[in-house]
Amino acid sequence: MNKAILIGRLTRDPELRYTSSNRAVCQFTIAIDRPFTNQGTGQREADFINIVAWDKTGENVGKYMTKGRLIAVEGRIQTRNYENNEGRKVYVTEVVANNVQFLESKNTATNSNAFNSMPEPPMEKTPYDFANDNSDSKLQPTPTETADVEKDPFAAFGEEIEISDNDLPF
């Protein structure tokens, strides 16, 4: 069984685009607070989950949701990979939304501006692979935006480790 149910706040305005066959696809990220504080810093941490919504669901999210709004997403976890501009294979894990619920009114969201002042997490824009889409449509790849953390998320852990494709389980 592959099912994910998430409730969180949008970290930025959703990105709504259309494939060449006029199929809507909306990409967005939600922040989900962890139920505990970090013992070292005493701060509450959050997880940032990438979501993809297709067709009418994607159009509705793109038209009616904005940064900071509370949203519930039901869907499945999907992994995919692509080759970036440097020729390296990049693996992406995201939730493909089957059902989305808007959990607060627009007025409620504008009254709580605390989330809107939070910094956005670093995120790499990825070209979407439509191989499993059952259509011949393609989005134009977007330029890659990277932060130092995205180049080497394990840099703070010390020495470098070599991993070959044979070591990966997929």
Q: Please tell me the total count of domains within the chain.
A: 1
- Cβ proximity of 36 and 46 under 8 Å: no
Full domain range(s) for residue 105:
4-167
pLDDT digit string, tens, across residues 52-103: 999 999 999 999 999 999 999 999 999 999 999 999 999 999 999 999 999 9
Q: Find the CATH number of the domain harbouring 127.
A: 2.40.50.140
Residues 6+ apart with CB under 8 A from 121: 11, 29, 31, 48
Residues 6+ apart with CB under 8 A from 84: 90, 144
Q: Which of 99-108, 109-118, 154-163 has the lowest mean pLDDT?
A: 109-118
Half-sphere exposure (Cβ direction) of 28: Cα atoms closer than 13 Å = 34
- Cβ proximity of 47 and 6 under 8 Å: no
**Could you tell me the pTM of the whole model?**
0.63
